[in-house]
Amino acid sequence: MNVPVLTSRIDSVTVYRQGALVCRSAILLAAQPVPPQVKLLGLPLSLDDGSVRVRVEGEGGELPVALDLRIALDLAVPDPALPPPDDAELKQARREVRSLADRRAHLEAQRARIERLQVYERPANKRGQPPLQSPTSARLSLIEFQQQQLATLDVQLQQLRGEQRQAEERREHLEARRKAASKARQAKPHELRKAALISLRAHEVPLTPVRVILEYMVPGARWAPAYAVSLTRDMARATVAVRAVVAQDTGEDWTGVRLTLATADAQRWVELPEMQALRIGRRQPPVQRRGWRAPPAGAGELYADYDRFLAGGGPRQRKPTPEPAPSDEWTDYEVSGEIDGAAADMPGTVTQSGTVSPKQSEVLLSLRQQLEQARNQPPAPGGPQMDRLGAARPTAPPMRSAPPPAPPPPPSAAAPQMMTFAGERKSSGFGGALAGAVGSLFGGPEGGGGGAPRGGLAHPEQEPEHEAAPEQLAYGDLRMPGPEASRRGALTLSHRRERYLEMLWVREVTREIDVVSLIDGAVTRAQQAGGRGLPPRHRFAESWFGFDYVYAAETPIDIPSDGDYHSIPLLKQQTPIQLGYVVVPRESTDVYRFVKLKNPLDAPLLPGPADIYVGGDYLLSADLKVAPPRGEVQIGLGVEQAIKVSRNTHYREEAAGLMGGSLSLRHDIEVEVANRSARPVDVEVQERLPSLREREDEIQLDVGAVEPAWAPFEPEHYELKGGYRWRVQVPAGQQKKLSATYVVRISGKKELVGGNRRE
> Would you list the domain boundaries of the chain?
88-120+138-180, 326-376+384-479, 643-677+688-709+733-747
Q: How confident is the model at residue 38 (pLDDT cuts 50, 70, 90)?
A: very high
Of 101-115, 169-183, 378-392, the poorest mean pLDDT is in 378-392
- Predicted pLDDT of residue 471: 58
Between helix 496-503 and helix 515-527 the angle, nearest 10°, is: 90
For 127-168, write each residue's pLDDT tens digit: 878 777 777 888 888 888 889 999 999 999 999 999 999 999
Q: Which residues contact 636 (CB under 8 A, 6 or more apart)?
A: 592, 593, 594, 622
> In whole numbers, what is the pLDDT of the chain averaged over residues?
76
- Predicted pLDDT of residue 83: 58
Q: How confident is the model at residue 369 (pLDDT cuts 50, 70, 90)?
A: low
- Predicted pLDDT of residue 129: 80
Read off φ and ψ for residue 374, nearest 5 degrees: -65, -35
Q: How confident is the model at residue 660 (pLDDT cuts 50, 70, 90)?
A: low
- Predicted pLDDT of residue 264: 93
CA 150/CA 5 separation, integer angstroms: 68
Contact call for residues 245 and 226 (beta carbons, < 8 A):
yes
- Predicted pLDDT of residue 384: 41
> What's the burial of 206, exposed, middle or buried (CB within 10 Å: 0-12/13-18/19+)?
buried
Concatenating the DSSP letter of every residue in 443-506 gives T-TTTS--SSPTTEEEETT-----PPPGGGG-GGGEEPPPTTSTTTTS-EEPPHHHHHHHHB--
- For residue 146, which of 108, 118, 105 has the smallest C-alpha distance? 118
CA 593/CA 578 separation, integer angstroms: 11
- Predicted pLDDT of residue 491: 79
- For residue 439, which of 379, 408, 399 has the smallest C-alpha distance? 399
Contact call for residues 204 and 69 (beta carbons, < 8 A):
no
- For residue 667, which of 602, 613, 722, 614 has the smallest C-alpha distance? 722
Q: Which residues contact 552 (CB under 8 A, 6 or more apart)?
A: 258, 259, 260, 261, 570, 571
| 3-state SS assignment for residue 122 | coil
CA 399/CA 433 separation, integer angstroms: 9
For 370-406, write each residue's pLDDT tens digit: 666 655 554 444 444 444 333 333 433 333 333 334 4
Q: How confident is the model at residue 315 (pLDDT cuts 50, 70, 90)?
A: very low
Average pLDDT, integer, range 43-70: 89
Position with higher pLDDT, 556 vs 192: 556
Query: 311 to each of 321, 531, 598, 638, how far by Cα in Å?
Result: 19, 59, 78, 89
Between helix 136-180 and helix 88-115 the angle, nearest 10°, is: 160
What would the 3-class secondary structure string for 502-544 be? HHECCCCCCCCCCHHHHHHHHHHHHHCCCCCCCCCCCCCCCCE
Contact call for residues 572 and 553 (beta carbons, < 8 A):
no
- Predicted pLDDT of residue 719: 80
Average pLDDT, integer, range 733-749: 88
Q: Is this prediction's pTM over 0.75?
A: no
CA 352/CA 377 separation, integer angstroms: 36
Of 417-421, 533-537, 704-708, the poorest mean pLDDT is in 417-421
- Predicted pLDDT of residue 374: 56
In this model, does residue 748 exceed pLDDT 90?
no
DSSP 625: P
Strand partners, 479: 492
CA 682/CA 686 separation, integer angstroms: 13
Contact call for residues 214 and 54 (beta carbons, < 8 A):
yes
In this model, does residue 415 exceed pLDDT 60?
no
| 3-state SS assignment for residue 178 | helix
- Predicted pLDDT of residue 181: 60
> What's the burial of 421, exposed, middle or buried (CB within 10 Å: 0-12/13-18/19+)?
buried
In this model, does residue 436 exceed pLDDT 60?
no
What would the 3-class secondary structure string for 212-238 be? EEEEEEECCCEEEEEEEEEECCCCCEE
CA 695 to chain centre: 57
CA 752/CA 134 separation, integer angstroms: 105
Contact call for residues 242 and 599 (beta carbons, < 8 A):
no
* Cβ-based neighbour number of residue 155 at 10 Å: 10
- Predicted pLDDT of residue 120: 74
Query: 378 to each of 381, 395, 397, 444, how far by Cα in Å?
Result: 9, 11, 16, 19
Average pLDDT, integer, range 560-572: 91
For 244-289, write each residue's pLDDT tens digit: 999 998 888 899 999 999 999 988 877 788 787 777 888 878 777 6
- Predicted pLDDT of residue 600: 92
Average pLDDT, integer, range 39-60: 89
Position with higher pLDDT, 607 vs 177: 607
- For residue 167, which of 103, 102, 107, 98 has the smallest C-alpha distance? 98
Contact call for residues 744 and 700 (beta carbons, < 8 A):
yes
Q: Which residues contact 549 (CB under 8 A, 6 or more apart)?
A: 262, 263, 603, 604
- For residue 270, which of 523, 550, 552, 548 has the smallest C-alpha distance? 548
Of 69-83, 158-172, 474-488, the poorest mean pLDDT is in 69-83
- Predicted pLDDT of residue 357: 58
- Residue spans of alpha helices (H) in 123-194: 136-180
Strand partners, 377: none
Q: How confident is the model at residue 338 (pLDDT cuts 50, 70, 90)?
A: very low
Q: How confident is the model at residue 425 (pLDDT cuts 50, 70, 90)?
A: very low
- Predicted pLDDT of residue 242: 95
Q: How confident is the model at residue 362 (pLDDT cuts 50, 70, 90)?
A: low
- Predicted pLDDT of residue 331: 38
- For residue 585, which of 679, 717, 683, 715 has the smallest C-alpha distance? 683
Concatenating the DSSP letter of every residue in 56-92 gives EE-SSSPPPEEEEEEEEEEEPPP-TTSPPSS-HHHHH
**Is the four-CA dihedral 384, 387, 391, 394 of positive or negative sign?**
negative
Q: What is the β-pairing status of strands 566-583 and 681-688?
A: parallel
- Predicted pLDDT of residue 188: 54
- Predicted pLDDT of residue 291: 60
- Predicted pLDDT of residue 493: 80
- For residue 307, which of 316, 294, 299, 298 has the smallest C-alpha distance? 316
Strand partners, 727: 684
CA 240/CA 599 separation, integer angstroms: 8
- Length of the chain in terms of residues written: 759
Q: How confident is the model at residue 217 (pLDDT cuts 50, 70, 90)?
A: very high
In this model, does residue 314 exceed pLDDT 70?
no
Average pLDDT, integer, range 680-694: 88
- Predicted pLDDT of residue 401: 34
- Predicted pLDDT of residue 461: 41
- Predicted pLDDT of residue 361: 62
CA 424/CA 34 separation, integer angstroms: 61
